[in-house]
Chains A and B, each alone.
Chain A
Amino acid sequence: MEIQFQEAILAIVVKKEDREKAGGGVPIFVTENEEEKIRVAQTLASVLKGMVHDLGNGVFILVKH
């Protein structure tokens, strides 16, 4: 049987200056600027088959639904 994560944060993507806004046991990807943040989030989303959510404070989370 295949075991899958459900409703779990897979990764966090932030800009350099927002580094302090996220922490915990999830991989955090720190990027230089907005453009890079979006690109990294997009790549991670398609690789991990997750969805990108915007927390509204500059932090992107990747969630497996």
Chain B
Amino acid sequence: MEKYWLTVVLSTGAGFLARLYMLRSDYRQYPGYPHGYVTHLSLGFIAAALGAVAIPALVEKEFTAVTFLALAAEQFREIRSMERESLGALEDGELVPRGKDYIEGIAKVFEARNYLVMLVSLATSAATQFLGWPYGVGAALVTLAISEYLMKGPIIGDIAQVVPAEPVFEGSVLKVEGIEIMNVGLPAMREKLLRDGLAVVIKPKDDNARATLHSTGQRQAIAHVAASILGTKKDVDLLEFTPLLRKDPDTGRIALFMVPAEKDMECLVEAVRRAPVLESARRAPLKTRLGRAAAD
């Protein structure tokens, strides 16, 4: 055991720090409950420890120890359902829900982070064991950078242009650049919507982006991000203030209309640009021959 002491401690520490680093409070991914932190840090520590002992076990020719990694994978799958359940349970209380697609994406991210922690500690322990601790520290930093890169998904700004737009009423129908949003009956409400509302148009850059933005789950995720950053004036009996994203069927452009608590167009454009592209919504018709042929 003594001769592996440095390897195990160093790589467990590196993995744990990696988990801590990936747990930075994030308005989209994490609501930031203290107990949530404890849960994820403990599971991250277990992942780090498992990654750390794998190499020493192999060196000792304890091949069965590797099966523990399989056990770990099973454990971490639980994290996904745990996150899914807890975020799903909170949905009823959200005025602007995340939507199932977004929750699924978040849950997957939480599972994947633990595998990345194992990767960090595995690489660190291998480098420490065979090359010495300075290389171990180097390996930790390199794998951390790699996992940081892997965790960074595309954002709406990558696949589409977000431009400010002017909402107008045609009779009782609210429109944004010709895209119908909703029918509002009360004249006072129409005035208020025009006064306090903000609208942007999301213009997909290509047919892949257009297909991605078709997904209603993706649109709900954008609405949730926008509403959680700018706030919303919506209440249970003020349905007119619900952030809505509607599509122009002919061009695939998406119009977003919302009534934010803080009316600031620049921030809204930036918030929409930074909304994540959901893995489950991503489509790529242009990757097929037929899709390319149909596109022109």
Contact = CB atoms under 8 A, between A and B. Distances in A.
The answer on A and B forming one complex is yes
Interface of A: 38, 41-42, 45-47, 49-54, 56, 60-61, 65
Contacts of A65: 239, 242
Q: Which of B186, B188, B236, B240 has the most CB of A within 10 A?
A: B186
Contact of B185 (A46, A47, A49, A60): A60
A54 B239 contact: no
Interface string B52-83: 00000000000000000000000000000000
A49 B236 contact: yes
A40 B290 CA distance: 55
Contacts of A41: 185-186
Using C-beta atoms within 8 Å of the partner chain, give the interface range for chain B: 10 to 19
B172 interface: yes
B6 interface: no
B239 A42 contact: no
Interface of B: 171-172, 183-189, 236-237, 239-240, 242
Chain A, interface SS category:
mixed
Contacts of B242: 65
Contacts of A60: 185
Contacts of A52: 184-186, 189
A61 B240 CA distance: 14
Contact of A38 (B171, B172, B186): B186
Q: Which of B188, B239, B242 has the most CB of A within 10 A?
A: B239
A5 to B, nearest CB: 13
B99 to A, nearest CB: 15
Contacts of A46: 237
